[in-house]
Copies of this chain bind each other. A is one copy, B any other.
Amino acid sequence: MGAMNAVEDVEHINFRLVAVLKLSGELGEDALNALRDFVRACNQTLLKKGVPESGRGAEIVRFRVLNEAERADEAENVDEAENADEAEKASDVIPGANAIEVEIHSDRYVRAHDALLRFRRNLAGVLGRYRIGLRGIDVRTYEIEMDWRDEVRVKSLPFVKNLSLSDGKLRLSLELSEREIERRIPDRILRLLYEKREMARWGGKKEHWELLFESERKEILFDRDPAEEMIRRCWIVHGASRGQWIYGPQITRIFRAFERILMEHVCKPLGYHEMIFPKVVTWDVWKHSGHARAIYPEAYYVCVPKTRDPEYWEDIADYFKITGEVPTDRIMERIENIGGLCYAQCPPFWIFLRGKTIDDDCLPICVFDRSGTSHRYESGGIHGIERVDEFHRVELVFIGTKEQVISHAAALRERYRFIFEKILDIEWREAKVTPWFMAQEGRAGVASDREVGTVDYEALLPYSGKWLEFQNVSVNGDKYPRGFSVKLRSGRELWSGCSGVGLERWAAVFLAQKGLDTENWPQSFREIVGELPEVFKFV
């Protein structure tokens, strides 16, 4: 939230809210007098609480009582001009008055909707003395006006019925119910606007990159694209789907050799145990992991039949049997989306721990999963086995106290370095990557934030001269334990980290640097992989 407050501090923002609070009974003269005193008290103290010197807080600039007729009338004409006469109405007792209309203005301190909720909470006590209860709120209008630089375009937003930008001011007109005020929807809208502005500010630059380690340069043994050579040798064949390969016996053996190296030199010495994480990931999981914020353009979506009654599907099957075509448009009407395919691998694991309290004795917990595929709808850049839609990854997850997680990440990086240096003998480097907005603002000052983050592993692809990110080690702080409500018996803060080992990426890097002929491979790796099997012979 640091980034957002930093922005807020230097700009102007105004909130203007008109709402009608409905009552269970008629407001008589005594009650009206009490209300008048209460509004005064609100404007003097209640709506100013917690507001700094520089701020103004909220103010009820106008209020009046209404009866049924006026409420209906008003609902049709909410934009009526304010004038002195109108302000006077508040003082008058009117027959059948069973609602209070208030207009609240505020700056960013005690935002108008928070002021309304404070008002309501305390009003209940005031009117209770006259045996009058509160019956709900109609929000008539809610306007926000804020400084906005023209270059950040916003077209439409949920709950915003009108949005205009002129003279460096963004004006929003919101349509909200009482429930949405209670859910602080206006705050969420503002947070989203600030986020969009941050994104625009950093533009294409997604992350700050800082070199941590670079291996020695290695002799170039191969300068072609290994994918093309693998296709030629039938080690890989395009699958029927986009960015998907069928891996033949030779490359599969290489993948499994990588896995054995990982088991022998990382998982065993560091005390990992294998688990099996789910591979269909529901929105419930992605809501908690945060992926529901941004995954949409890259997800592979999973849908299930609205019913598995065979009769419901009979005409679809008939259509295929008769035409030889599958009517996917009609299928779309009969299925519903429940989530997507494994994207980041560890989120669905956290359901195993959700809501549980862990005994400190069993920390650190180190588990890994290699039970299935991951899927990303990649951009045009699908290439060879470096960037594919369907890939295979061993995911390591480590959980412990902050100190345990930080020291485990270091140990993990040690083990990886050993593999890349002593077994695979590749040219590689390690870099700390930080999202730009975090790198640029106050957050870097907070010690824990400096520890949270990702170390990327990159290796040179001689055929293109580019560096490919082929693996990572991330310290995620308390993000997942917090997102999935996992606690520690001692009450200490629980942290976690993860590391994804993509078999395609390891192969892309190793084969690009060493080529496909085993005699050029380091002896250490040849011993592990053994002889590559020749199974198929095509004419």
Contacts and interface: CB of A to CB of B under 8 A. Distances in A.
Contact of A324 (B287, B328, B379): B287
A246 B348 contact: yes
Interface in A216-260: 237-242, 244-249, 252-253, 255-256
A352 B191 contact: no
A322 to B, nearest CB: 5
Contacts of A320: 287, 292-293
Contacts of A246: 275-278, 348-349, 351-352
A248 B362 CA distance: 14
Contacts of A195: 321
A319 interface: yes
Contacts of A32: none
Interface stretch (A135-143, A353-361, A427-435, A449-457): A353-361
A453 B521 CA distance: 46
Given A246-B349, A277-B246, A392-B371, A535 B365 contact: yes
A52 interface: no
Contact of A537 (B313, B358, B375): B358
A77 B91 CA distance: 82
B322 A188 contact: yes
Interface string A287-331: 100001110111111111101111011011111111110101001
A416 interface: no
Given A301-B302, A359-B537, A273 B249 contact: yes
A410 to B, nearest CB: 22
Contacts of A362: 535-537
A448 interface: no
A192 B323 CA distance: 11
Nearest to A361: B537
A282 to B, nearest CB: 4
Interface in A357-383: 357-359, 361-362, 365, 367, 371-373, 375, 377, 379
A156 interface: yes
A289 to B, nearest CB: 11
21 contacts: A156-B315, A185-B322, A237-B351, A239-B278, A240-B282, A240-B351, A241-B278, A241-B282, A244-B278, A246-B348, A246-B351, A279-B372, A280-B389, A296-B313, A301-B304, A303-B303, A303-B332, A308-B377, A341-B341, A371-B373, A489-B539
A159 to B, nearest CB: 7
A247 B370 CA distance: 12
Interface of A: 156-159, 185, 188-189, 191-192, 195, 237-242, 244-249, 252-253, 255-256, 273-287, 292-294, 296-305, 307-310, 312-313, 315-324, 326, 328, 331-332, 335-339, 341, 348-349, 351-353, 356-359, 361-362, 365, 367, 371-373, 375, 377, 379, 389-390, 392, 489, 533, 535-539
B293 A298 contact: no
Contact of A322 (B189, B239, B255, B332): B189
Contacts of A308: 297-298, 377, 379
A419 to B, nearest CB: 22
A240 to B, nearest CB: 4
Contacts of A240: 278, 281-282, 284-285, 339, 348, 351
A357 B538 CA distance: 6
Given A246-B278, A274-B253, A358 B304 contact: no
Contact of A301 (B157, B279, B331): B331
